[in-house]
Amino acid sequence: MSRFMDGIELEILWSNLIATVSDQAKALQRIAFSPIVREAGDLATALFDAEGRMVAQAVTGTPGHINALAAAGAHLVAAAPPATLAPGDVLITNDPWLSAGHFFDITVFTPVFHRGRVIAFFGSTIHHTDIGGYGVGAGARDVHEEGLWIPICKLYEAGRPNALLHDIIRHNVRTPDYVFGDLAAQVSSARLGSERLLALMARHGLSDIDELSAEIIARSERATRAAIKKLRPGTYEGESRFDVPGGDVVTLKAAVAIDAEAGEIRIDFAGSSEASPYGINVVLNYTHAYATFAIRSCLDPELPNNHGSLAPIKVTAPEGSIVNCTYPSPVNARHVVGMYVPMPILKALYHVMPERVLAEGAGAVWTIQIQGRDAAGRPFTSSMFNYSGGMGARARKDGPDATCYPTGVAAVPVEVLEAAMPIEFLEKELRPGSGGAGRRRGGDGQRIRFRMRTAAPWLLNAVTSRTRERAEGLGGGEPGAAGRFLVNGRAVSEARKMVMQPGDEVSMETPGGGGYGRAEAAA
């Protein structure tokens, strides 16, 4: 019997691995410049074994990043196997199809050497402040317009910076200091992780983590399969519709097949919309990330997240569809569609585990970026900021107001935004009654109104959704109210940056979540 079969020894080693990647994430989050990383926690860190299998991930981050990082690990190790690496090497990529689905997310992957051989990797993905090209938003016509494409390569070679790559990055991004600061943070957080891992191995007399990793992955896979085997087998279907900037309506169809014999769940997105001409398309990695997230958070939120627990969940989607887009589809604002990926799956799972799912919610957070000139004529570009609508209701609980599912990113405070640029918020309040009625009510959306205190025209880049297609209720619950995006009181739907005039007033009413169960049963 392996020493790791022991539930005490394994608990101690495993919880140490999780603590190590969590510390890596904390170090990264505190040090990063990218506001979305610091305030919203838009990052992922994980430990991989020498074969590139994710063993432990931080209990922070966003679903889109974490599970996409798991897939990136496999691609990175395939492209740069341990035998080709030297101590001090650091790998990098932002290839949308190999990692997190758009250029802004850069993955850094660092091998850990012990006694001359690679025993593990620490990986991290964070959303950078800039990556050149189009900037924030969905308006680019193809992926090349969206910025700098970094193939899998070495950021550091044997401890020395890859000078050519550094030079290319410096010449292709608008905020090189911040990008290099954030890359340095990724590299140093992996160093911290490596030191912790080697110290743990020394304390426990380990020369590698192969056997430990195998045991963790095997147990996680077994537990996940066991949880799936308890479900009623069959294929269940769900469909979710929502409108996106520009006015198109996207349909996502998910067929969720539960194979109780093998303990497997297969999700197929056949019948979903074709890829869009706008940059809201999702690569399969990212679809996989949100699909597996939806399954796992309903199946058992306590299960660990690693290669083993992800393995029994298979995700497929037709090539060229909006959830498996192909080169050269633009992908910049892929979160708009990605954050809806769980919705049809939850609707399918309602037939199997009605107690654990939630009704459709507002879906994607609404994101905003503003550029202009202040009263003194100095140009400014805001960081991207976001607002949530209401969450869907649960079987026994109302949906939280102004809170997003599947992500849970924080909003930047009004005062922080007002201090950073000449913006004046006129309102930020809930929209009472916007959550769908039901035995349990959907969460309310919110109304945000603002204008710019500037004499010059300014640019507004707003990525909204669900302004017509409402969040449906479950089990007889009513739908939530649709969102409304108004400029000077007139509804707009625009995927590209809009030129605004001084004095223009913007009003954003985020959608409400769907209700759960029939309302008359409320008493």
Nearer to another protein, 184 or 487 (CB): 184
**Residue 8 binds another protein (CB under 8 A):** yes
**Residue 429 binds another protein (CB under 8 A):** yes
Secondary structure class of 48 (helix, strand, coil): strand
**Residue 449 binds another protein (CB under 8 A):** yes
**Residue 211 binds another protein (CB under 8 A):** no
Within 96-155, which residues bind another protein (CB under 8 A)?
129
Secondary structure class of 66 (helix, strand, coil): helix
Q: Which of 250, 260, 262 is nearest to 287 (CA)?
A: 250
For residues 238 to 277, the per-residue mask of contacts with another protein, x marking binding by CB under 8 A and - elsewhere, is: ----------------------------------------
Say how far apart CA 408 and CA 64 lie, in whole Å: 11
Give Cβ neighbours of residue 376 (< 8 Å, ≥ 6 apart).
Answer: none
- Kindly indicate which of the ranges 71-79, 103-111, 133-141, 387-395 contains the residues binding another protein, using the contact rule CB under 8 A: 387-395
**Residue 166 binds another protein (CB under 8 A):** no
Q: Which of 69, 123, 138, 131 is nearest to 98 (CA)?
A: 69
**Residue 161 binds another protein (CB under 8 A):** no
**Residue 401 binds another protein (CB under 8 A):** yes
User: What is the amino acid identity at position 166?
Assistant: H
**Residue 387 binds another protein (CB under 8 A):** yes
Strand partners, 223: none
- Considering CB under 8 A, how many residues would be counted as binding another protein? 85
Say how far apart CA 33 and CA 39 lie, in whole Å: 10
Cα torsion 408, 409, 413, 414: sign: negative
Instruction: Give min distance, CB of 32 to another protein, in A.
Output: 8
**Residue 230 binds another protein (CB under 8 A):** no
Pairing mode, strands 264-268 and 313-316: parallel
- Kindly indicate which of the ranges 20-28, 119-127, 146-154, 261-269 contains the residues binding another protein, using the contact rule CB under 8 A: 20-28
Instruction: Give min distance, CB of 43 to another protein, in A.
Output: 12
**Residue 427 binds another protein (CB under 8 A):** yes
Place of tokens 């849970």: 408
- Kindly indicate which of the ranges 98-106, 180-188, 330-338, 498-506 contains the residues binding another protein, using the contact rule CB under 8 A: 180-188
**Residue 297 binds another protein (CB under 8 A):** yes
Instruction: Outline where 408-466 has alpha helix (H).
Output: 414-420
Stated length of the chain: 523
Q: Which of 100, 130, 126 is nearest to 37 (CA)?
A: 126
Instruction: Give min distance, CB of 175 to another protein, in A.
Output: 8
Through-space distance between the first and last CA atoms of the chain, rounded to whole angstroms = 57
Strand partners, 120: 49, 112
For residues 34 to 73, the per-residue mask of contacts with another protein, x marking binding by CB under 8 A and - elsewhere, is: -x--xx---------------------xxx----------
**Residue 446 binds another protein (CB under 8 A):** yes
